[in-house]
Amino acid sequence: MKFGVKKDKINLNSAQFMRLAGYIFIRDRKFDKESYVRKTTRNNYPRFHIYIQEDEKTIFFDLHLDQKQASYPGAHAHNAEYDGEVVESEISRLKNLIIEAIR
């Protein structure tokens, strides 16, 4: 699920905000993509996974919930939720953190 925040509404850069929100930076070396994850349990999955893009005025967040790792060698796809109650709840949590960061 995607959402955006105007840069002038938050006094942190995207990396600082993601750390504040409990996410860690990861780099997919195979595809040279950067993103952030936040575990929901002690295991690696399920976990929230978020990609960030920015333009001059807005930070765009693209969030989904990875349920499990790809189940066979060479696979790139995994079981993920892109909407629903759990994802919406995490987006609400992030938006509340943004409001707190403004203060």
Express each pLDDT in 49-98 by its tens digit: 999 999 999 999 999 999 987 665 665 556 789 999 999 999 999 999 98
Let me know if 32 is exposed, middle or buried by CB neighbors in 10 A (0-12, 13-18, 19+). Answer: exposed
Q: What mean pLDDT is predicted for residues 17-38?
A: 92
Quick check: 6 and 58 in contact, CB under 8 A? yes
Tokens of 11: 């006094």
Domain range for residue 27? 1-70
Strand pairing partners for 37?
24, 49
In a domain, 102, yes or no: no
In a domain, 91, yes or no: no
pLDDT of amino acid 20 = 93
In a domain, 8, yes or no: yes
Let me know if 96 is exposed, middle or buried by CB neighbors in 10 A (0-12, 13-18, 19+). Answer: exposed
In a domain, 77, yes or no: no
Confidence (pTM): 0.86
Quick check: 36 and 25 in contact, CB under 8 A? yes
Res. 102 pLDDT band, cuts 50 70 90: low
Total structural domains in the chain?
A: 1
pLDDT of amino acid 49 = 95
Helix and strand counts by DSSP (H, E) for the chain: 2, 6
